[in-house]
Structure 1
Amino acid sequence: MTVAMSPDAVQELGFYFALMPIGIGTVVLVLIAMVYGRMTGRHYPFRQFDDPNRYGTQDLEPMKRLGLTEAELSDILGRYKQSFNLGVEDLARLLGAAEMQVAAQRSGPTVAADIMSHNLITVQPETPLTEIADLFRRYRFTALPVVGGADRFLGVIFQIHLIDRAREDSLRLKRGFGKALHRLLDRRREIPVQATDIMSVGGPRATADTPLSALLTQMADGAVDAVPVLERGQLIGIVTRTDLISALARKSLDK
């Protein structure tokens, strides 16, 4: 349109017309599209199977471990003329989510109250990290809920939180991981690290009536090892990955 409406201006600019406005304008549009895609949860450029997963390894994430190969997925995109709108990995994510939904629907009427652990080991916000580490070692748990007065749920601590905190300290203090971990768990520290300093407060939660299908979806991607079960803000139980696997194993024996 610019060429048709302003031929004289284009002639004066010469080669620079390809750079400005066409080249710079195109780059700006692509950058805006990439930012918009990230803000709306769409990844651009399209993800491929050779990209590392969230753990930095080459294994596919659990939700994408399908029976279809990369070539078969690419063929599906080609047949339905979607190769320019959807990446191979994105298609795998959609199929994985669909399979997970079907598996969840077949899990029956089981709810969180049927499989959750009731006799809980919890910690207070001011519980020192040394005591938390002792609880992890003694009970072999992977998660410890943090509660306040009247069993009000405040957050949860996973074992990985201890490792992450020690790693952060080792980088910040420029010392080895072992020394940083020893310092973190030193009972003689003047200001000990407490549960409230490392706990997670934004993870998934459930109620007693949450179906097994929803719990399966929440823990399928490996982001959390346990889901707290709440009733009006109070902790009444917790569903761990072990509880979930046991429930699915019983379901498979019933068929």
Structure 2
Amino acid sequence: MEALRAGLGAFLGLCLTGYLVLSPGIDLESGLYLVAPLGASAVLLFAVPNSPLAQPWSAVIGNTLAALIGVAISLTVHEPTLRIALAVGLAIAGTFMVRAVHPPAGAVAMTAAMSPDAIEHLGFWFALAPIATGTASLVLIATAYARLTGRRYPFRQFEQQNRHGTSDRVAVERLGLSEAELSDILQRYRQSFNLGVEDLARLIGAAELQAAAHHTGASTAGAIMSTKLITVKAETDLGEVADLFRRHRFTSLPVVDDEQRFLGIIFQMHLITRARDDALRLDRGLMPALRRLIDPERDKPVRAIDIMSVTVPRAIATTPLGALLPLMGDTDVDAVPILEYGKLIGIVTRTDLIAAMARGLARAEV
């Protein structure tokens, strides 16, 4: 799936850039045409968007600076081999110095050095069009495509706010290590151009969660899941759903059909979100909107199927706890349904995970 996502993204990126911004044929008058290095940039932007080498500064500035260097060398050095080698070497040094290393930039400089006739006609305009224009177009398309496919590009920097708008690190990245310490680790192992500080923090956090799972005692979802479940049907009205939440103090309710096939799940937050949307739409307070939402006497009662989520993570009984911890550690997911051939056989909640980890710690202390 990841291979298909990356390939489709590169296809769309180059298609849109070719049809809307540049031209697939060489037009020396305008300079707006596709060049081979843009294909190399597409590999980074769509296949490894988290890489420091694929970020907008590296892509746009790196390619543009390399184009300027390539043009300057092409106009001043006439021996072909020397011209090409010098253009690429200086492009690497230049992009390194401005922290805009982008591997396709070497191909940009080489393209300019290998095309002295075209460069003599275009001059330094080549750096603006097609290089800067084409690269910026790919970056914008990659940004939109990442959002549509559930990825993050440009990648969030260490000091940026989290998804809640606060400066706290997300749970899996609260390592007790500063940005400077993480940067020092990357420098020490010569990985600063392969990984960003944010990447390293996430990897360390994931490793710590995996290690924590080893101390829970139980190793799989099936060992800690709740099996005697209270569920609702798709046609259940929200009044009954709200009553079940109140009576049992649940934070989630699975939705199943008559054969126990899993259809979706309702979290308490779904009720609040729907009531808030209705309050804004109808210009009324939150509580009146919530009462109206769960009123079984309304003309068309809202049912479970109208607000349930069908895209929540799910697992099977043999799923390791190490895979469940990240799902509930830094998301809005309060519970993960456990399925067997599409049928609901259990559910693992945050409470189940905390209890399992507490038992593991208690045994470790003994």
TM-score with structure 1 length normalisation?
0.85
**Whole-Å separation in 2 of the counterparts to 1:37 and 1:132:** 35
What is the aligned partner in structure 1 of residue 311 from structure 2? 202
Please give the root-mean-square deviation of Cα atoms over the aligned residues, in Å. 2.8
Is the contact between residue 47 and residue 87 of structure 1 (CA under 8 Å) also seen in structure 2?
A: no
What displacement does 1:148 show? 1.1
> Which whole-Å deviations, capped at 9, do the CAs of 1:43-88 have from their partners, x for residues lacking one?
4444223322222322211111112111101112222333333322
Is the contact between residue 144 and residue 156 of structure 1 (CA under 8 Å) also seen in structure 2?
A: yes
Is the contact between residue 215 and residue 361 of structure 2 (CA under 8 Å) also seen in structure 1?
A: no
What is the aligned partner in structure 1 of residue 115 from structure 2? 5
The amino acid across from 1:166 in the alignment is A
Is the contact between residue 219 and residue 225 of structure 1 (CA under 8 Å) also seen in structure 2?
A: yes
**Whole-Å separation in 2 of the counterparts to 1:122 and 1:185:** 18
CA distance 1:99–1:170, change in 2 (3 Å): same
The amino acid across from 2:272 in the alignment is I
**Whole-Å separation in 2 of the counterparts to 1:5 and 1:12:** 10
What displacement does 1:97 show? 1.0
- Matched residue SS, 1:85: coil
- Matched residue SS, 1:151: coil
Instruction: Give the structure, 1 or 2, with the largest relative contact order (CA under 8 Å, sep 6 or more).
Output: 1
- Matched residue SS, 2:259: helix
Out of 271, 296, 317, which is 1:187 matched to? 296
CA distance 1:173–1:83, change in 2 (3 Å): farther
**Whole-Å separation in 2 of the counterparts to 1:29 and 1:212:** 39
CA distance 1:76–1:194, change in 2 (3 Å): same
Is the contact between residue 184 and residue 193 of structure 1 (CA under 8 Å) also seen in structure 2?
A: yes
Is the contact between residue 156 and residue 199 of structure 1 (CA under 8 Å) also seen in structure 2?
A: yes
The amino acid across from 1:67 in the alignment is G
CA distance 1:33–1:115, change in 2 (3 Å): closer
The amino acid across from 1:19 in the alignment is L
Q: Which has the larger radius of gyration?
A: 2
**Whole-Å separation in 1 of the counterparts to 2:271 and 2:292:** 12
The amino acid across from 2:264 in the alignment is G
The amino acid across from 2:261 in the alignment is R
- Matched residue SS, 2:266: strand
Is the contact between residue 129 and residue 194 of structure 1 (CA under 8 Å) also seen in structure 2?
A: yes
Does residue 1:253 correspond to 2:362, yes or no? yes
What displacement does 1:213 show? 2.9
**Whole-Å separation in 1 of the counterparts to 2:278 and 2:284:** 8
1:16-165 superposed matches below 5 A: 16-31=125-140, 43-165=152-274
**Whole-Å separation in 2 of the counterparts to 1:238 and 1:153:** 11
Task: Give the unaligned 5+ runs of structure 1.
Answer: none
* Higher mean displacement: 180-189 or 59-68: 180-189
- Matched residue SS, 1:21: helix
**Whole-Å separation in 2 of the counterparts to 1:40 and 1:233:** 24
Is the contact between residue 216 and residue 359 of structure 2 (CA under 8 Å) also seen in structure 1?
A: no
> Which whole-Å deviations, capped at 9, do the CAs of 1:129-172 have from their partners, x for residues lacking one?
11111111111110111111132222111011111111222333
**% same residue:** 63
